[in-house]
Amino acid sequence: MRMRPIAPLADRFVYVGTALLDLYAKTGWVFRAEQMFEDMSHRDLIAWNSLISGYSYNGYDLNAFQVLILMLEEGMSEKTTVSWNTMISANGQSGYFDEALLLFKRMCDENAGVNAVTIATLLSADAPLDSVHSYAIKNDLDSDDSVNTSLVSMYARSGNTKLAQLLYESRSCQKNLVLLTAIISSYAEQGDMRSALEFFAQIGYENMKPDAVTIVSILHGCTSFTHIDVGTAFHGYTIKSGLASDTLVMVMNGLISMYDKLNDIDAAYSLFLSLDERPVISWNTMISIYMKAGKFNDAMGLFCQMNMFGYSPDRITITSMLAGCSELNSLQIGRSFHCFILRNNLEIEDFLGTALLDMYAKCGSIKNAERVFKAIKYPCLATWNTMISGYGICGLEHESLIHYSDMIKSGIEPDDITFLGVLSACNHSGLVDEGRNYFRIMTEDFGVVPSAQHCTCMIDLFSRAGLLDEAVKFIKKMNVEPDSVMWLALLGACYTHKEVRLGECLEKKIFLLDERNGGLYVLMSNLYASIGR
């Protein structure tokens, strides 16, 4: 009622409407601010900015981005190359890659003047490399330094290192440390340390000096004992290089991770202790190493030291600790970390929230897992998957399938992990028809290629239901090679249903695959005993 005297003024004077809009946005009345904005006959830049910042301030990031795009589009009375590039870049940087490509198509249709910046922007927007490269060549844009630089960088990041190298060595490509580092990193990730080191040597030939990113790229490639000499050599190089303290920390973390990959936890910890400054990322790296090695007590000790020395654990720290609680089925400690999250006002978003509900589900506290799930504003696929499998872990298969349906209704597309949880639920509940249907949906509707785990679920489902012939037919048709686990699932059903002839046939198959499998001999003994042999 109080708005009515002001409404005519707001419509008459733009600054009044803008002031009201800003007030509503800042006080949390976002949808009233939105209504105010829609009712405005004229919108100036301040009005647009007030609505965008209001959405962002109140946590509606997607709405803020959509309004930004709308503002840019409406502001394009005369669409220039710069404005098109801005729109493509805004979509790409926000993860809207399909929209970025559609804008590029519209740009071409309207002959808006595609230039080198457009090509570089498209590449950063995850556009198909081959298509963009071909377009650049056809339109004589491939000779531009910025285009070639972007192409080399993106080919290297995508793993097509040979083509990146070919482009780099062409005359039109400007030689710089960023591109050399991209190629080095690509070779190192592929395990081709010889090529990575050859390009590292080129840095010296080109009179450049490697930075922290370059050195860490090499260290990431040291993943086995065959690389230990390279790793230790770069450890020594780092000490002698005289890197600045801020970049030295980055390299030291890379070295700690390298020793972890080489299974030398003592060396990693010694290096951690040698750091004069230990930022949160260093603590997180060391805690994660202890967790992966199953040394929960050591990780817990580091967590306590971290707090004692005045470092504030972040969501990555807590996520690592929650993973340890899940593995140890330690509900009490897991709850204490939940309390820590609440006391320190850490946002329970998809990353941290997923770890928290995973801990509760694996510790059998499904009600707490449900509460955490409901507290997450925008659950991602991993969060849905964790909840689906969590219900299955707690023996609530029916709820698992309901949750899958809710996920589909929310617009989230399932993946292979989703269907593993769904098929496991069908298996444990004996829902044969439903299992068949979900397997069909997985392969035909969503194009998920069945893994050995998916197939094992189906074989076990048929076997438990006594449908041994169907299980055998399924094995013959499936796209993966049957392993001993699959045959054992079927052999277990032979014992239950006293199918000796099929059991003896399976015995030979399992023996050839895994002659030391103790389960084989126990099941065959039980099978013979069940018929008095």
- In the predicted model, what is the mean pLDDT of residues 444-451? 94
Are residues 291 and 320 in contact, defined by beta-carbon separation less than 8 angstroms?
A: yes
Q: What pLDDT does 248 receive?
A: 78
* Per-residue model confidence (pLDDT) at position 228: 83
Give per-residue pLDDT as tens, 326-342: 988 899 999 999 999 99
In contact, 303 and 313? CB cutoff 8 Å? yes
Q: Domain limits of the chain?
A: 1-75, 474-533
Question: In the predicted model, is pLDDT for residue 206 greater than 50?
Answer: yes
Write phi, then psi, for 25 (nearest 5 degrees).
Answer: -65, -45
Residue 448 is classified by DSSP as: P
All residues at 6 or more sequence positions from 90 whose CB lies less than 8 Å from its CB, including other chains: 65, 68, 69, 72
**Res 238: pLDDT:** 81
The answer for residues whose C-beta is within 8 angstroms of residue 388's C-beta and 6 or more apart is 400, 403, 404, 407, 418, 421, 422, 425
Residue 401 near residue 427, CB atoms below 8 Å: no
Question: Which of these ranges, 31-45, 203-217, 377-391, has the smallest mean pLDDT?
Answer: 31-45
Distances in Å between the alpha carbon of 132 and those of 45, 141, 148, 445? Answer: 35, 10, 12, 30
> Smallest Cα–Cα separation from 65: which of 48, 44, 46, 83?
48
Average pLDDT over all residues of the chain:
84
Residue corresponding to tokens 């995508």: 158
Say if residue 352's pLDDT is above 70.
Answer: yes
pLDDT at 153: 82
Q: Are the beta carbons of 403 and 421 closer than 8 angstroms?
A: no
- Packing angle, helices 484-496 and 500-513, rounded to 10: 160
282-295 pLDDT tens trace: 999 999 999 999 89
Q: Which residues touch 460 (CB under 8 Å, ≥6 apart)? A: 427, 489
Lowest mean pLDDT among 101-115, 152-166, 243-257, 295-309: 243-257
Residue 380 has pLDDT above 50, yes or no: yes
Structure token digits, residue 91: 């979509």
Q: Specify the amino acid at residue 488.
A: L
pLDDT of residue 171: 56
Helix residue ranges per DSSP H, 110-264: 116-124, 129-138, 145-157, 161-168, 177-189, 193-205, 212-220, 228-241, 245-261
Two tokens, residue 158: 């995508």
The Cα 128–Cα 122 span in angstroms is: 9
Does pTM surpass 0.75? no
199, pLDDT greater than 60: yes
The residue with greater pLDDT, 22 or 367, is 367
- Tell me: pLDDT of 351 over 90: no
pLDDT at res. 83: 66
Q: What letter does residue 5 receive in the DSSP assignment?
A: T
- Which range (8-22, 141-155, 475-489) has the least confidence? 8-22
> 359: pLDDT confidence band, cut at 50, 70 and 90?
very high
d(CA 82, CA 362): 52
Residue 298 has pLDDT above 80, yes or no: yes
Burial readout 449-464 (b: 16 or more C-beta within 10 A, e: otherwise): ebeeebbbbbbbbbbb
Provide the CA 267 distance to its chain's centre, in angstroms.
29
pLDDT tops 80 at residue 170: no
pLDDT for 438 equals: 97
Stretch 376-382: mean pLDDT, rounded?
89
Residue 325: pLDDT band with limits 50, 70, 90:
very high
Is residue 12 over pLDDT 80?
no
Q: Give the whole-angstrom CA distance, residue 509 versus residue 257.
A: 42
In 3D space, the residue among 176, 250, 191 whose CA is nearest the CA of residue 215 turns out to be 250
Tokens at residue 493, please?
A: 């059903």
Half-sphere exposure of residue 110: CA atoms within 13 angstroms, side-chain side:
12
Contact by Cβ (8 Å): 429, 417: no
Could you tell me the two tokens for 297? 């007590």
Percent of the chain surpassing pLDDT 70: 89
Q: What would the DSSP string read from start to end of 29-87?
A: -HHHHHHHHHH-SS--HHHHHHHHHHHHHTT-HHHHHHHHHHHHHHT-SS--HHHHHHH
Higher pLDDT, 3 or 66: 66
Q: Is the pLDDT of residue 128 over 70?
A: yes
Q: What is the pLDDT confidence band of residue 1, given thresholds at 50, 70 and 90? A: very low
Q: pLDDT tens digits, residue range 132-142?
A: 888 888 888 87
pLDDT, position 72? 63
